[in-house]
Amino acid sequence: MSSGRSSLRRADSAALRHSPDWYDQSRETTVLVAGDRMFVPCEGGPCRSRLEHFPPRLEIDEHEGTYVLADIGPRDDWKYVFVPRPR
């Protein structure tokens, strides 16, 4: 049974994104607009990559932890880093 807190956290996490204008795309070969789909590779955790809509979510809750977006530098270098929950 859900306590409600984790459900609220998932809903909040889904909304946490930078605005599309926050990203400098001047050196990208393809400029993305809000809603464009993109794959973001994952480091650790159960996933190899995530299909996201631009701009991607900053955090994604998973059963055993959270993926945190590392979006510094060119888009080809972006990745989600898995942070496991403390036991």
* Residue 2 pLDDT greater than 60, yes or no: no
Residue 20's pLDDT band (boundaries 50, 70, 90)? very high
How much is the pLDDT for 13? 46
- The per-residue pLDDT for range 31-70, each reduced to its tens digit, is 999 999 999 999 999 999 999 999 999 999 999 999 999 9
Structural domain span for residue 30 = 5-84
| 19, pLDDT greater than 60 | yes
Q: How many separate domains does the chain show?
A: 1
pLDDT band for position 87 (50/70/90)? Answer: confident
pLDDT at residue 77, rounded to an integer: 97
Statement: residue 10 has pLDDT above 90? no
What is the rounded distance in angstroms from the CA atom of residue 40 to the CA atom of residue 37?
10
CA angle 60, 62, 65 (to 5 degrees): 95
Which burial class, exposed, middle or buried, applies to 58 when counting CB atoms under 10 A from its CB (0-12, 13-18, 19+)?
A: middle
